[in-house]
Amino acid sequence: MRDTFVKTLIEIAKEDKNVHLITGDLGFGVLKPFWEQLPDQFTNAGIAEQNMTSFAAGLALEGKTVFTYSIGNFPTLRAVEQIRNDCAYHDANVKIVCIGGGFVYGSLGMSHHATEDLSIIRALPNVTVLAPGDLIEAEHATRAIYNHKGTCYLRLGRGGEKRIHDKIDDFQIGKAIKIKGGEKVAIFSTGAIFDEALEASEILSKEGINPALYTFPTVKPIDRLTIEECAKNFDLIVTVEEHNVVGGFGSAVSEVTAELVGTKARVLKVGLNDMYSSIVGSQKYLRGVYGMSASQIAEKVLENQKDA
């Protein structure tokens, strides 16, 4: 996803000289093409993410469209006060980009596990939150936040994500994308963990359950219409996120269903169960440790179907 983001941003920045990219002293291998081609639109702020964010807000308030770039929690949790006070409060045109949502940097430990970022950033007024599920969604999301005025958060994987779409004809901020229809169970996924949701749906199909499958590139504003429609027509909605289940994507979906009258769907949230990871390992390994693998998602759906 990060290569797709950089390639897309270069195309945008060549057309718009007001686009500026700031890195917190990271990503030089992947950002090299940007600074080589557009040196006047690039700044290395050093290992100082709070300063980077305030600097970005200042540029934005002077008419620039600014992208800040770093990994894991660094551009978000380390700088949350600056995002709140300097960017969001002023509706500044700053686009915060996190490479490595979830357990991407799993071998580097808890400090690099981005598992609370969605909940914390979506709680800030005036911030739009996107977490694309594949390369095509990442490209569209990059262009969408560029065109969207105000503060945005873009949560990306690192690389090697499975391709979902051949193309997307009508990508919109705030709209989920239906991958396939189904009966009784609807699986909602956000971010790069979509590959586990897709594989889980294939496992369930072999067990006689045909789940509908949706990807939610936008976490805020959440697609209320899709959630409401599924809540009316399915028995179980399963949310899948590589993130804490408290306050994140599953909570955003639950906030919608809790206000509905006369619907039948229950919500099952799959994610990190309100804890920190004290274990290190690959992203795939940690998903399995914390109950987010495809087989574990399918098992939880089957258990909940039996209880229904």
Q: What string of pLDDT tens digits covers the 308 residues of the chain?
A: 888 999 999 999 999 999 999 999 887 788 999 999 999 999 999 999 999 999 999 999 999 999 999 998 999 999 999 999 999 999 999 999 999 999 998 999 898 999 999 999 999 999 999 999 999 999 999 999 999 999 999 999 876 777 888 889 899 999 999 999 999 999 999 999 999 999 999 999 999 999 999 999 999 999 999 999 999 999 999 999 999 999 999 999 999 999 999 888 999 999 999 999 889 999 999 999 999 999 999 999 999 876 55
pLDDT value, residue 233: 94
- Please say if 183 is a catalytic residue: no
What was the pLDDT predicted at 75?
95
- 10 Å CB burial of residue 263 (0-12, 13-18, 19+) is middle
For residue 166, how far is the Cα from the chain centroid?
20
Q: What is the pLDDT of residue 49?
A: 96
The pLDDT of residue 162: 76
Asked if 38 and 10 count as a contact pair (C-beta separation under 8 A), the reply is: yes
Which of the residues 36, 49, 81, 202 is marked catalytic? Answer: 49
What pLDDT, on the 0 to 100 scale, is given for residue 28? 77
**Helix crossing, 135-147 with 2-15: angle to 10°?**
30
pLDDT in the model for residue 164: 84
- Structural tokens at position 27: 């990503």
Q: Which residues of 224-256 are buried (b: 16+ CB within 10 A; e: fewer)?
A: bebbbebbebbebbbbbbbbbbebbbbbbbbeb
Residue 308: its pLDDT value, please? 52
Contact predicate 236/263, CB 8 Å:
no
Pull the structure tokens for residue 197.
Answer: 């949701």
Which amino acid does the sequence have at 284?
K
**Cα 293 from Cα 285, distance rounded (Å):** 9
- Tokens 């940690």 correspond to what residue? 286
25 backbone φψ class: left, alpha, beta (φ>0; ψ -120 to 50): left
Look at phi and psi of residue 286 and say left if phi exceeds 0, alpha if psi is from -120 to 50, else beta: alpha
User: Could you give the 3-state DSSP secondary structure of residue 43?
Assistant: strand
CA distance 117 to 49: 15
CA separation for the pair 100, 250 (Å, rounded): 20
State the pLDDT at residue 307. Answer: 58
Q: What is the value of pTM for the model shown?
A: 0.95
Contact call for residues 156 and 99 (beta carbons, < 8 A)? yes
Asked if residue 176 lies in contact with residue 212, where contact means CB atoms within 8 angstroms, the answer is: no
129 near 219, Cβ under 8 Å?
yes
The contacts of residue 156 (CB under 8 Å, 6+ apart) are 1, 2, 5, 97, 98, 99, 100, 101, 131, 132, 138, 192
Using CB atoms within 10 Å of the CB of residue 281, give its burial: 0 to 12 exposed, 13 to 18 middle, 19+ buried: middle
